[in-house]
C-alpha cells in the first residue's frame, strides 16, 4: 500500500478492536495514521503499537473530521449515533454491527464474494455476522458447480462472539466446576462450561432466533438471491475462539466430489487440509489466529445424491470481523471508493 488512509477505530479496547490493531500491525500500518476511540470510561487508556503507545479517546460525533475510514465495532446504538456524523465528515464507515446490514442502500460485503458491491456505497459499508461470512464464501464457490436448491446450517459458536464478559464467564464457570464451587451465571441464561446452549440472541415469533434470521437474511443479500431456501440453527458452545458450522447443501444437479474439493482448493480465502475428507478436518484450536476459513468433512449426502455435507471453521474475531473490515478498506482503496482519499 503506497499511501495509507487515516483510520479511526471505534471500540478499540474491545475484542474486535484489539484484533484489528494486531492485523494492522502485521501489515506494518503506520501508527500516525491510526486513531483509537472507545466509550468515556476507556478515555485515556494507552494501547501499545510497535514501540508507540496509542491514546484512546472518547468517541463523539465530532471525532472524525480528519479520518478517511472509520471502523466501528460497538453496540448498534453507537453505530446509529456516530456513523452518520462520520459520513458527514467525509469518511467511509465500515461497521461491524447489525445496525445497517439489511438497509437497502448499505452494501453488506465479503470481498471474496461481492467486492463489486463496494462501488454502490453511500458512505457506509456493513460487515456480515461472523457466521454468515464463512457460509457465503463456501456457497458462492459451490454455486459455480450447480444451482443450489436448499441450504441447512448448524453453527457451533464460541463465547467470544458474545464479548469479553462471556469469555470470563466460561473461564470462571470452568474453575468453579473443577473446584466444586457454586456456578454463577450472568451473560448466558444457562451454564455454558461443559455444556452448550441452543440459543444465540433472542427468539422471534417464528421460533428462530435473531442470530438465525441474520444468517438467513444476510446470506440472501450478499449472494443477491432473495429466493434462496436456507435454514439455520445457532448453538453456543464452550469454546473461547472460532465458530464452526455443519453445512448441508442440496443442488439442482448431482455434483462430483472431486470437483467440490478442487473448487474449494482454488477459492480465495478458503483452505482445506489435504483433500478435506475423513480425519483431515479443521478444529477451533487449529484455526484460531488464521485468516482463511477452513473446510473439512467433505462428503456426499447419504440421503440425497444431489446433496453435499461439509464442515467449516473460521476465526470469528479475524475473518468474522476485524480482517473482513480491513479487507473491505483495501478493496475500497483499489476501487477508489474512499471519499477524500
Measure Cα distances from 38 to 41, 90, 294, 312 in Å: 8, 20, 32, 33
Domain 7-127+321-334 matches domain 132-158+196-316 at the CATH topology level: no
* CA pair distance 207, 92, nearest whole angstrom: 37
Domain locations in the chain? 7-127+321-334, 132-158+196-316
- pLDDT(87) > 60: yes
Given 130, 140, 234, 242, the catalytic residue: 130
- pLDDT(317) > 90: yes
- pLDDT(1) > 80: no
The dihedral over CA atoms of 196, 16, 324, 319, expressed in degrees to the nearest 10, equals -40
| Model pLDDT, residue 190 | 98
pLDDT tens digits for range 206-238: 999 999 999 999 999 999 999 999 999 999 999
Place of cell 463489486: 116
pLDDT tens digits for range 10-38: 999 999 999 999 999 999 999 999 999 99
- Beta strand pairing call for 230-236 and 148-157: parallel
| Model pLDDT, residue 27 | 96
Q: Is residue 190 helix, strand or coil?
A: coil
Average pLDDT over residues 303-317: 98
- C-beta of residue 181 within 8 angstroms of C-beta of residue 68: no
pLDDT tens digits for range 162-181: 999 999 999 999 999 999 99
130 is catalytic: yes
Which of 163, 213, 2, 11 is CA-nearest to residue 94? Answer: 11
- C-beta of residue 174 within 8 angstroms of C-beta of residue 194: yes
* CA pair distance 37, 89, nearest whole angstrom: 16
Q: Which fold has domain 7-127+321-334?
A: Rossmann fold (3.40.50)
Q: Which residues contact 84 (CB under 8 A, 6 or more apart)?
A: none
Q: Is residue 231 helix, strand or coil?
A: strand
| Model pLDDT, residue 26 | 96
Q: Which residues contact 302 (CB under 8 A, 6 or more apart)?
A: none
Stated length of the chain: 341
227 phi and psi angles, rounded to 5 deg: -100, 5
| Model pLDDT, residue 110 | 98
234 is catalytic: no
* CA pair distance 90, 64, nearest whole angstrom: 8
| Model pLDDT, residue 2 | 60
DSSP states of 67-94 as a string? -SEEEE-S-HHHHHHHHHHHHHTTPEEE
Q: Which fold has domain 132-158+196-316?
A: Dihydrodipicolinate Reductase; domain 2 (3.30.360)
340 band by pLDDT with thresholds 50, 70 and 90: confident
- Supply the mean pLDDT for the chain: 97
* CA pair distance 204, 74, nearest whole angstrom: 23
| Model pLDDT, residue 264 | 98
C-alpha cell at 44: 485515556
* CA pair distance 142, 263, nearest whole angstrom: 7
Amino acid at each position: 500500500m503506497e499511501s495509507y488512509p487515516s483510520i479511526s477505530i471505534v471500540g478499540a479496547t474491545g475484542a474486535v478492536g484489539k484484533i484489528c490493531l494486531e492485523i494492522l500491525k502485521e501489515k506494518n500500518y503506520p501508527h500516525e495514521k491510526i486513531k483509537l476511540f472507545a466509550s468515556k470510561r476507556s478515555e485515556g487508556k494507552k494501547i501499545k503499537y510497535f514501540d508507540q503507545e496509542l491514546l484512546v479517546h472518547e468517541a463523539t460525533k465530532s471525532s472524525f473530521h480528519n479520518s478517511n475510514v472509520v471502523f466501528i465495532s460497538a453496540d448498534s446504538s453507537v453505530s446509529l449515533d456516530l456513523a452518520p456524523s462520520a459520513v458527514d465528515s467525509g469518511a467511509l464507515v465500515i461497521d461491524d454491527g447489525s445496525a445497517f446490514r439489511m438497509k437497502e442502500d448499505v452494501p453488506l460485503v465479503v470481498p471474496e464474494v461481492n467486492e463489486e458491491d463496494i462501488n454502490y456505497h453511500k458512505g457506509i459499508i456493513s460487515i456480515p455476522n461472523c457466521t454468515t461470512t464463512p457460509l457465503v464464501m463456501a456457497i458462492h464457490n459451490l454455486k459455480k458447480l450447480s444451482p443450489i436448491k436448499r441450504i441447512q446450517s448448524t453453527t457451533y459458536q464460541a463465547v467470544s462472539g458474545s464479548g469479553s464478559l462471556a469469555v470470563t464467564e466460561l473461564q470462571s464457570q470452568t474453575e468453579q466446576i473443577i473446584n466444586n464451587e457454586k456456578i454463577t451465571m450472568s451473560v448466558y441464561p444457562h451454564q455454558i462450561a461443559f455444556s452448550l446452549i441452543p440459543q444465540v440472541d433472542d427468539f422471534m415469533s417464528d421460533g428462530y432466533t435473531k442470530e438465525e434470521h441474520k444468517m438467513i437474511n444476510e446470506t440472501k443479500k450478499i449472494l443477491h438471491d432473495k429466493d434462496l431456501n436456507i435454514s439455520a440453527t445457532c448453538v453456543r458452545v464452550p469454546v473461547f475462539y472460532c465458530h464452526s458450522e455443519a453445512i448441508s447443501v442440496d443442488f439442482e444437479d448431482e455434483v462430483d466430489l472431486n470437483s467440490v474439493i478442487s473448487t474449494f482448493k482454488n477459492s480465495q480465502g478458503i483452505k482445506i487440509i489435504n483433500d478435506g475428507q475423513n480425519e483431515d478436518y479443521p478444529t477451533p484450536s487449529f484455526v484460531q489466529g488464521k485468516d482463511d476459513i477452513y473446510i473439512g468433512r467433505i462428503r456426499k449426502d447419504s440421503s440425497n445424491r444431489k446433496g453435499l455435507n461439509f464442515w467449516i471453521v473460521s476465526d470469528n474475531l479475524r475473518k468474522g470481523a476485524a480482517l473482513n473490515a480491513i479487507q473491505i478498506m483495501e478493496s475500497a482503496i483499489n476501487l477508489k471508493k474512499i471519499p477524500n482519499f
